[in-house]
A and B are shown apart, each in its own frame.
Chain A
Amino acid sequence: MFLHAKNMVGGYGETTILNNCSINVKQGEIAVIVGPNGAGKSTAMKAIFGMLDLRQGNVFFDGEDITYLSPQDRVKKGMGFVPQTNNVFTSMTVLENLEIGGFTNLDKIKSNIKEIFNLFPILEEKQKQIVGELSGGQRQQVAVGRALMTNPKLLMLDEPTAGVSPIVVKELFEKIINIAKAGIAILMVEQNAKQALEISDNGFVLVQGENKFTDKGMTLLENREVRKAFLGG
């Protein structure tokens, strides 16, 4: 197992949001966390990334126990994270956003930028533009691009399609599949549960911070209970 978050318990302050939650991701696969509002999806991701102290449980990444590492150190270990909001440097240009992502690995900066421009051609076109002036979908691409610049082995996306139009959602998912094909494991939290499960290898359905269902994405889609409860029939 590439990422193995085991029996996580934790929350903000006194409250407990995660209740024995486990998330596993294999190398090169797409895993999706879905669930109703307030189920602790984003919290689970934050816990995996070290932005939340766990009361119980462990996080193993690439065979190493990283439970007590800071988010910055996890970035160095090969975790990339795209937060849901404030995930770009709005006052800086597209190119600068990518460069800053690459400061941890200077000799690969140029080749990485080239790869990201291949993946998101629109960014190459707009590289001199201030990110604050871009559309929501384009910003999201910048955000993913910045995270990819850190050479992650696992890319974590917190609701990458929040607030972008349906056509762009489809496009973004295609890009995500392409990233996974390049060998980068992907873990994402998604509101567009149906579409996300369709492209995913593994799905985790969380309810009140607990794993309710864990299965292949397609199997979950066919599961009547999951459909009824979370996917609208």
Chain B
Amino acid sequence: MDFFNAIALITNFILLPGLTYGSQLALGALGVTLIYAVLRFSNFAHGEIMSFGAMVCILFTWLGQSYGVSFGFLPTALLFVPVAMIFTILYCMLIEKFVFSYYRKKKSNPIIFLIASIGVMFFTAGLIRFIIGPSDQSFNDGVRFIFTVREFKTLTGLNEGFGLKTSQAITILTTIILCSLLFFFLNSTRTGKSMRAFSDNEDLALLSGIDPNKVVLLTWIIAGGLATFAGVLYGLDKIYKPFIFLQMLLPIFSAAIVGGVGNPLGAFIGGYIIALSELFVTFAYKKVLGYLLPENLEPTTMMQFLSTDYKFAVSFIILVIVLIIKPTGIFSGKTI
């Protein structure tokens, strides 16, 4: 029984939040990694693009709600994700047209692209503050829990339990569906293969009649779409905070690099590695150990490796370790 109590605790405080946060990171990291693989630069504006997507979704959700639109027990915001995606993709195309295409024509060094993307990041952040303001926005309506900790406890008779938030279930499911679609697209369709070929060997791809403009456009469409989902799902699960997306760049880039930058499967797995490590390291194990250890060995301290304030340090440490030991990441990166 004690064992199951411990499992329930870990599920509630590490596993479910970790998988949820990991999914959000994975979606973000996939966008970063695709842009790196195809357009060959690290897009620091990606966090703000996620924020932009979430913002548009919130604005349309408010508009919808004012007309009485609702999505039953699911958050209304989900209905407006497609609209938000369209706006975000358009925004990405505008950036591409007015910022990045110039450097692409000049065949600039990737570092120039990176610096330009930092500029885009600040611009986008400013634009978002200008439109929706700097304060937090909560936009999650619908039923909050699929089942709560209390319901779980009464059902199983355990002392501890775990609850499943609607936003958690939506996040994990959506991520699995989106990633399956993306991997199917990249591995089995003609356009997907063209994208991979372009990423692998640009010159040879051109000689095979692959249209570079089409590939670039498609990359922005996919990256923008994934970023919208990542931003909205993060906002639904926690809260929409314009400031958080700058901080999220670190775990997102860590996820992409841990998995092998440029490798979509790596970004996907990397998201979960980063998220779960953050939670494993910052979780207080006192209660869990209390259940698992014999009575006289029960810990008296919190049994926490790191305070939650330091959770960003975790992704940073992982990033440094990976860069020292295996710079190409788990799945040797650089191409898709």
Binding site for B on A (CB under 8 A): 71-72, 75-76, 81, 83, 86-92, 96, 99-101, 103-104, 146, 150
Contact = CB atoms under 8 A, between A and B. Distances in A.
B201 A104 contact: no
Nearest to A49: B207
Contacts of B196: 89, 91-92, 96
B294 interface: no
Contacts of A81: 207
B207 A100 contact: no
B201 A101 contact: no
B200 interface: yes
Contact of A87 (B194, B197, B204, B335): B204
Given A86-B201, A101-B208, A103-B194, 18 more contacts: A72-B206, A86-B203, A89-B196, A89-B204, A89-B205, A90-B201, A91-B196, A91-B336, A99-B193, A100-B194, A100-B197, A100-B208, A100-B210, A103-B208, A103-B209, A104-B208, A104-B209, A146-B208
A18 B240 CA distance: 63
B216 to A, nearest CB: 16
B206 A83 contact: no
B207 A71 contact: yes
Nearest to B262: A91
25 contacts: A72-B209, A75-B209, A83-B203, A83-B204, A88-B204, A89-B196, A89-B200, A89-B204, A89-B205, A92-B193, A92-B196, A92-B197, A99-B190, A99-B193, A100-B193, A100-B210, A101-B208, A103-B190, A103-B194, A103-B208, A103-B209, A103-B210, A104-B208, A146-B204, A150-B208
A71 B203 CA distance: 10
Which has the most chain A C-beta neighbours within 10 Å: B206, B207, B336?
B207
Interface of B: 190, 193-194, 196-197, 200-201, 203-210, 335-336
Contacts of B208: 75, 100-101, 103-104, 146, 150
A90 B200 contact: yes
A91 B209 contact: no
Contacts of A88: 201, 204
A91 B266 CA distance: 14
Given A89-B200, A90-B201, A91-B200, A72 B193 contact: no
Contacts of A99: 190, 193
Given A83-B203, A83-B204, A103-B190, A89 B209 contact: no
A100 B335 contact: no
Given A91-B196, A92-B197, A100 B203 contact: no
A75 B203 CA distance: 13
Which has the most chain A C-beta neighbours within 10 Å: B194, B204, B205, B206?
B204
B209 A86 contact: no
Contacts of B205: 89, 100
The 10 closest A-B pairs by CB, nearest first: A104-B209, A91-B335, A89-B200, A100-B197, A91-B200, A100-B208, A89-B197, A101-B208, A89-B201, A86-B201
